Amino acid sequence: MANVVNSTQSFIYDLYNFYQWSQAMADQRTKGWMLVDSPFPTLVYTMIYFLIVWAGPKLMKNRKPFQLTWALVPYNLAMAALNLYIAVELLCASTKLRYNYLCQPVSKLRHPDEIRIASAVWWYYFSKLLEFCDTFFFILRKKDNQLTFLHVYHHSTMFSLWWIGIKWVPSGSTFLPAMANSFIHVLMYTYYGLSAFGPKVARYLWWKKYLTILQLIQFTTAMIMGINGIRSGCDFPLWMQYTLVIYMISFIVLFGNFYIKAYIEKGSKVFEGNSRSQMHVANGYMNGIEHAMLQNGDCKKLH
């Protein structure tokens, strides 16, 4: 028993020392920024998110779905505007600083444009908290088919992982995935904002399929750049590059599976269904002709 107690105390002590060491290694430029200093707010919000994902559909089971057009339109367009701001900030500041897109070490300088990049990365991290509303709207509208593993995994992990980003690497090569993803989110939230107006508008929105393709291109590019950074010895935290590669592989698998089921397999079924319908129509048409000719005594014309 004494050995168990001692082992537990030793583990807690080592864990505390690691926490203190990791805090000392954090980027001091973002110290004191909202939600940054401690991991607990991020963990608490993520746990609340999981709780709502679990309990929300149960609470809505016997209730009518909410329409929420009044909230969906401004929310999605506001998110599009926020992501546009983040992307433009990162693009302008990184261009001024002449950042290298293949490998950019983390600078601890307090140059105004470096702080500008760190600030944009913070907004990107914070936007991942706001994006929890995507899930809450699905629940309130009883779109439970949208609450896939991919959706929940994507939203919950992005918020946590980008806390790591803003805490330890708020500049350097961190800027590129945030910038690319923000540009894609501008298109995505614009799409969702416009589609919330209903079928009359939604039928003109043709680019949903291509958003998934853009995301797959983004994930693949980020994975290749991460592998290249590891191979070339880029002066960027190695653990971050390995994390990036593994994370991107998971996204490629999950989003690739979604694309196959949503567009390739579904498209094949639609094509097959259309072909069968056309055959039924053709058979019906020929049967009608044969029936008419039999009635007119023209049976010989069919043989």
Pairwise CA distance, residues 258 & 147, whole Å? 13
Return the residue matching tokens 């940054």.
36
| pLDDT attached to residue 301 | 40
Whether the per-residue pLDDT at 6 is higher than 60: the answer is yes
The catalytic residue among 111, 154, 185, 303 is: 154
Are 80 and 131 within 8 A, CB to CB?
A: no
pLDDT digits (tens, 9 = 90+) for 119-135: 999 999 999 999 999 99
Which of 117-141 are b and which e, b meaning 16 or more Cβ less than 10 Å from the residue's Cβ?
Answer: bbbbbbbbbbbbbebbbbbebbbbe
Annotated catalytic, 154? yes
Pairwise CA distance, residues 205 & 226, whole Å? 34
Quick one: how many helices (H) and strands (E) in the chain? 11, 0
Q: Which pLDDT band holds residue 2 (cuts at 50, 70, 90)?
A: low
Q: At what angle do helices 149-168 and 112-130 cross, to 10 degrees?
A: 150
